[in-house]
């Protein structure tokens, strides 16, 4: 079964949390969701979860079998809530996180749609010039070209452009599906491109959000860190958390362990130190998550403000290139007459 979409996760956790708070058992809640939902994937998932629980398989083991479908971090929070008796709080954290992710996703889509379409359009215009217009100019002042030949050339150009677009999209899909390639691409993006701020802040926000909920649910700090690390996708972040876990295993302060990760901001380290000293480490983690979310929103706003001037420059370069090439071929043909 494929992982649940964000909308399906929202429906599942919202319904499961509401039914649990109303006094339903796990199996009754799952049965109710399966009966009420019109989504086939949710029906199948709930019935499978119910079957496992009715076979006396522990809740943690059952959820673990479906963690990729439910979302690894969310599945871990469910287990944490069941273990600590704070399932309602953990589900509320999940729902809040889903809402935040949904808002961030919508913001990113609205921000990046225009430049993406602009780039794709520019590629299409350049390819059309290369495969059609410039070729027409090459023969305009020599052998000439019949109308049917021009039409055939145009159709050929369109087919080539469609094939190139298809190759680009297939490559993107392959890169996303191939986890190794996707991880390398993500490391490149988070190291060398202007999207680094968006991606890093997004993952660190999710990390500290899950970490705060897990720690507040009573899970030891090292286990909470391992649990929250499932939301991190870049190799640099994973290596940093592994270093932090190794350091904290030596019995040192939490702040020292996080400083050893060498991936977190000074604000995060100062909040961890204050939270550890005051005995409110969970609240400190949540404040750090809020700070990374604020940075994420500010980064998105900054990039959004740059889109229009950058787009104008790109369009100007494209028009200039086409104009220069057009007149170069035009005058070259005239002088050769």
DSSP secondary structure letters along 33-82: HHHH---HHHHHHHHHHHHHHHTT--HHHHHHHTHHHH-HHHHHHHHHHH
The span from the CA of 263 to the CA of 73, in Å, is 20
Kind plus residue range of the DSSP H or E element containing 20:
helix 6-21
Q: Where are the domains of the chain?
A: 6-98, 113-337
Write out the two tokens for 80: 């944490």
Question: 231: which DSSP letter?
Answer: G
Q: How many CB atoms lie within 10 A of CB 99?
A: 12
Q: How many CB atoms lie within 10 A of CB 321?
A: 14
Residue 145: per-residue pLDDT: 66
Question: 193: which DSSP letter?
Answer: S
Fold annotation for 6-98: Receptor-associated Protein (1.20.81)
Q: Is the dihedral of CA 102, 108, 114, 115 positive or negative?
A: negative
Q: Tokens 């350049």: give the residue.
A: 126
As averages over each run of 10 residues, the pLDDT of the chain (337 residues) reads: 86 91 90 88 91 89 87 81 81 84 78 78 83 74 69 87 90 79 74 76 85 81 84 83 88 88 89 90 90 85 77 79 73 59
Residue 329: per-residue pLDDT: 67
DSSP secondary structure letters along 139-178: HHTTT---HHHHHHHHHHHHHHHHHHHHHHHHHHHHHHHS
Residues in CB range of 313: below 8 A, 6 or more apart: none
Residue 15: per-residue pLDDT: 92
Q: Is the dihedral of CA 187, 188, 190, 191 positive or negative?
A: positive
Residues in CB range of 11: below 8 A, 6 or more apart: 37, 39, 42
The span from the CA of 255 to the CA of 259, in Å, is 6
To the nearest 10 degrees (0 to 180), the angle between helices 281-335 and 266-278 is 170
For 114, phi then psi, to 5°, come to: -60, -50
3-state helix vs strand vs coil in the chain, percent to 5: 85, 0, 15
């Amino acid at each position: 079964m494929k992982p649940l979409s964000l909308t399906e996760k929202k429906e599942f956790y919202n319904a499961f949390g509401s039914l649990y708070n109303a006094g339903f058992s796990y199996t009754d809640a799952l049965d109710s969701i399966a009966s009420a939902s019109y989504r086939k994937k949710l029906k199948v998932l709930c019935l499978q979860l119910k079957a496992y629980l009715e076979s006396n398989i522990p809740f943690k083991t059952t959820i673990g079998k479906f963690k990729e479908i439910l979302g690894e971090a969310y599945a871990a929070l469910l287990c944490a809530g069941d273990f600590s008796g704070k399932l309602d709080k953990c589900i509320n954290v999940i729902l809040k996180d889903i809402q935040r992710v949904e808002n961030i996703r919508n913001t990113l889509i609205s921000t990046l749609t225009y430049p993406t379409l602009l780039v794709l359009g520019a590629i299409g215009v350049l390819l059309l010039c290369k495969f059609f217009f410039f070729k027409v100019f090459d023969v305009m002042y020599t052998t000439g070209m019949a109308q049917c030949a021009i039409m055939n050339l145009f159709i050929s150009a369109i087919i080539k452009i469609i094939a190139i677009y298809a190759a680009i999209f297939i490559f993107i899909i392959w890169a996303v599906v191939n986890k190794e390639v996707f991880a390398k691409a993500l490391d490149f993006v988070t190291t060398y491109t202007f999207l680094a701020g968006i991606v890093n802040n997004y993952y660190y926000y999710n990390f500290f959000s899950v970490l705060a909920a897990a720690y507040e649910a009573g899970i030891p700090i090292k286990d909470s860190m391992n649990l929250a690390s499932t939301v991190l996708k870049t190799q640099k972040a994973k290596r940093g958390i592994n270093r932090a876990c190794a350091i904290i295993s030596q019995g040192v302060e939490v702040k020292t362990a996080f400083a050893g990760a060498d991936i977190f901001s000074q604000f995060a380290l100062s909040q961890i130190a204050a939270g550890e000293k005051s005995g409110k480490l969970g609240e400190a983690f949540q404040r750090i998550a809020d700070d990374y979310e604020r940075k994420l929103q500010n980064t998105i706003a900054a990039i959004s403000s740059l889109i229009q001037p950058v787009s104008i420059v790109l369009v100007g370069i494209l028009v200039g290139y086409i104009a220069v090439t057009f007149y170069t071929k035009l005058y070259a043909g005239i002088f050769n007459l």
